[in-house]
Amino acid sequence: MLREQGSMSLARVLQPAIRIAREGFPFYELYREVIMADLFGEKGGKTRSFPAVAEHAAYVLNEARDGPRWQVGETVTNPDLARTFELLAEKGADEFYQGELARDVVRAVQGAKVAATERVGVLSMEDMREYRAVQRPPVRSTYRGHAIYGMGAPSSGGVGVAQQLNL
């Protein structure tokens, strides 16, 4: 889509994300609350608002595993994410589907057991190479006189946002 409709290169589009991942951003109170709620059920029993927090607990937790790795106001960096974005900026999107990054994704999927079944993932390099994104028409709705566009089916995101805005 960027190649077809964008006015900037992938490298340029990724620069702000690379900078934030490398230089960081201040850890803020809401982020701390989300981590504590999702991992420990704090904040009135509200849990699992962001399942990815629990999936990446090793990254966000301190060594004692009883709270966030950072204190409010400290800088959060992610050098691995910065390197991934830099690789994509340098080599292009094909790196994700056919290059070193694709091999890393396949190794991670094949090495991860699904807890309920004890089976490992079956993604292959062929799957990565053969994948083609499908462009679908967006969902359009209005909110207070403004046109709102979102992802069309099979995604439920666009419809969900439209429904929530117009409750």
Q: Are residues 107 and 125 in the same domain?
A: yes
pLDDT of the residue at 45: 46
Q: Is residue 158 part of a domain?
A: yes
Q: Are residues 45 and 99 in the same domain?
A: no
Threshold 0.95, pTM exceeds: no
Q: Is residue 82 part of a domain?
A: no
Contact, 85 vs 17, CB < 8 A? yes
What are residue 61's DSSP bridge partners? 68
Q: Are residues 106 and 147 in the same domain?
A: no
Q: Is residue 154 part of a domain?
A: yes
Print the domain residue range for 111: 93-135
Q: Are residues 49 and 97 in the same domain?
A: no
Count of CB atoms within 10 A of residue 83's CB?
14
Q: Are residues 145 and 131 in the same domain?
A: no
The pLDDT tens digits of the residues spanning 1-19 come to: 777 888 999 999 999 999 9
Q: Are residues 123 and 148 in the same domain?
A: no
